[in-house]
Every structure is written in structure tokens, then in C-alpha cells.
Amino acid sequence: MNRFDRVTSLLLLLQTRSVLTAGFLSDHFGVTERTIYRDIRTLENAGVPIGSEPGVGYYLEKGYRLPPVSFTQDEAASLLLGEKLVSKSLDEASLSDFNQALNKVRAVMDSADSDYLSSLDADLAVYPTGSHFPIDNTESQSPYTDVPANDQLAGNSDVKGDRWLRDCRNVLVRRQVVELEYRALSSDELSTREVEPIGLFYYSWHWHLIAWCRLREAYRDFRLDRITRFSPKSEQVARRSRLTLQQYLDERPGKLELQEVVLVFGADAARFVAEQRYMFGFIDEEAVEDGVKMRFLTPVPDYMARWLLQYVDDVEIVVGDSIKASMARFSQKLFTHWTKGS
């Protein structure tokens, strides 16, 4: 961040907080406290009435307000991403307030930036339950073999790794072809692809770029944290030449393979299900006499069966014969393995 942007951001922070210490500002901007002192003097020299109290911090004098602030294109786009995510978790009244706030953001943007936001809006989708759809795994016999990923099941689902999010937003609006390097989940092999992006889809705690892959001649799903290089090209493709994101989601492979599963976890087991249930298409739950009943729509019955084995006899399968059969098969393999040679 250059000095002008930092000083401007510092002024915005002062307006949003009652008191800020030099130490907090130093950590926030990643600069020394001496640099913060200089920035404060710059604002004071520009006529901003900044008060200070030793041992307490800096504050804006009462009555001073900044004029209305416009939003940059990237700031507004980030708010749109936030809207997509929170819309799946807010109540109706709060969502209405959030949408109204975003409309005010759109109102102060110029026409070009507003058009950018409208175009991007159609290219974003969030799946509320966290269920998985087929991802790019060409070496696997089943399109679901590498879902969910072992690192996710272990709790290593750091969304901060989705570092290409801003780049993806831009190429989607411009309909640019992208050359990327991608490390497959199943084999960990690195491949180079030329792709035509059609949308960003959030599920299983990560953003995924949905694109037509010229190498595979098919639509593919690239998890952003698995992309190691992202290079937009000058070539552009017409929007109508490929499916829209919504059309892809409506026609995606495996759509009809989602299986309903209803489980009843004992009270003790239910306490440990926590976030892992979202890896298997959790829909809803209700308290019952014997514990907690949970409903799922999952495309990965074998993985779900492996997950459920850890609960031994503290889970009952109400709906899901394929899950029950898989658990019986895996249990037999476990028995054979651990009694071998005894």
C-alpha cells in the first residue's frame, strides 16, 4: 500500500472507531509506529482535527465527518461476494438490510463500475449445504473419487488459499481465456490448461472456477487454492458461446446421483459431528427421542460410509441402503485386516 492510500485508510479508520492507538495502527498497516506518527501529522497539516490523549490514543474531534465516499470497483465486487455468502445464513430481515446497503453502494458507482457489478452478479453462485459436485479428476474412475479431499476432512480447509479470487472476477467479466497450472486433488499432479471461465461457485468451504477446459474438451471445476499459476490471455470469447453458470449447475454431471441419507446420531456422537457434516451435503436436523436426526443429500456415499464408521454403534441409518451396504463392506475389511495372523 502506498503512502497516500495508507493515510486515506487511516482517516477512514479514525472515523469508524472512537479511539485508535499507534500500536494498533502500526500492526494494521504493517509499518512502524514512527511512520504512523508522520501520517497523523500529515492529516493534521491537511486540516483534519485529530485529538490525542497520552496512553489512550488518537481520535477525531466531535462534529468532523468525511464527505460521502465512493467505492472502488474491487471494493464493490468484494461486497457482492459477501452478499452471496451471507445470503445463505442471514434471516430474511437481515438479508433485506444487507441488500439495501449494497444497493446504496451501487447508487454511488459510475455507470461502468455498476455494469461490471451487474455482469459479475450472474457469474457467481453459492451452494448452501456444502455438498460436492464432480471436480476435475481425470485420473479417477469415478467423478467423485477425490471428493471430499483428505485435507478438508482433516480440517485443513483454509479459504485464504483461494488467492486468485480477484483475478477470476476480472476474467469472468471480460470473458478472457486463461492459462493456468492446476494441481489435481486425487493425484497431486500438475498440469497446464487453457480454459474459458463461465463462473465462480462456492461450496465445501472453497471458491471454485467453473470453466470450459480446452485440454479435456469439457467443463471442469478448478478449486482456487489448487491453482498454482493464473495467466489471463488477450483472447476473449463470446458469452453466448458457452453455458452460463446457472445452466452448468442445472445440467452438471452427477446431478441425478445425489442420494438422500437420513441418520440418527446418539446425543454423545452428535456433539462431535460439527463442521464435518457439511462435507457430505448436510441439509437440516431435528432433535428426536434417541438423539439428533440429520438429513443429507450426498454424491459420495462411500466417503460418507468411511466417515460414519468412526461412530461405531452410535449412529443409525434411517434412509440410505447404499451407505449401510458400504459400511458393512468396510467393517468386514476392517475385521479381516485386524484379525489377520491372529
All three cell numbers of 120: 459479475
User: Who has greater pLDDT, 279 or 213?
Assistant: 213
Whether residue 135 is found in the same domain as residue 250: yes
Whether residue 214 is found in the same domain as residue 239:
yes
Domains held by the chain: number: 4
- Residues 194 and 181 reside in one and the same domain: yes
Residues 157 and 222 in one domain: yes
Cα–Cα distance for residue pair 61/18, rounded to 1 Å: 10
Whether 17 is covered by a domain: the verdict is yes
**Domain around 8:** 3-60
Question: For residues 199 and 143, is the Cβ–Cβ distance under 8 A?
Answer: no
SS3 273: helix
Question: What DSSP letter does each residue of 99-117 carry, written as one string?
Answer: HHHHHHHHHTS-HHHHHHH
- Asked whether residue 265 falls in the same domain as residue 235, the answer is no
Q: 0.85 exceeded by the pTM?
A: no
36-86 pLDDT, tens digit per residue, is: 999 999 988 888 889 988 888 998 887 776 655 667 778 778 877 887 777
pLDDT-derived band at 134 (thresholds 50, 70, 90) equals very low
- How far apart are the C-alpha atoms of 284 and 309, rounded to whole Å? 21
Clarify whether residues 249 and 264 are in a common domain. Answer: no
List the single range of 41-50, 181-190, 259-268 with lowest mean pLDDT.
Answer: 181-190
Domain CATH code at residue 32: 1.10.10.10
C-alpha cell at 158: 483454509
Angle between helices 165-174 and 111-121 (to 10 degrees): 100
Res. 130: pLDDT tops 90: no
User: Which long-range contacts does 325-334 make (Cβ < 8 Å, 24+ apart)?
Assistant: 326/301, 326/302, 330/305, 330/306, 334/309
Instruction: Give dist(CA 90, CA 85) in Å, integer.
Output: 9
For residues 248 and 157, membership in a common domain is answered with yes
Cell of 172: 469472468
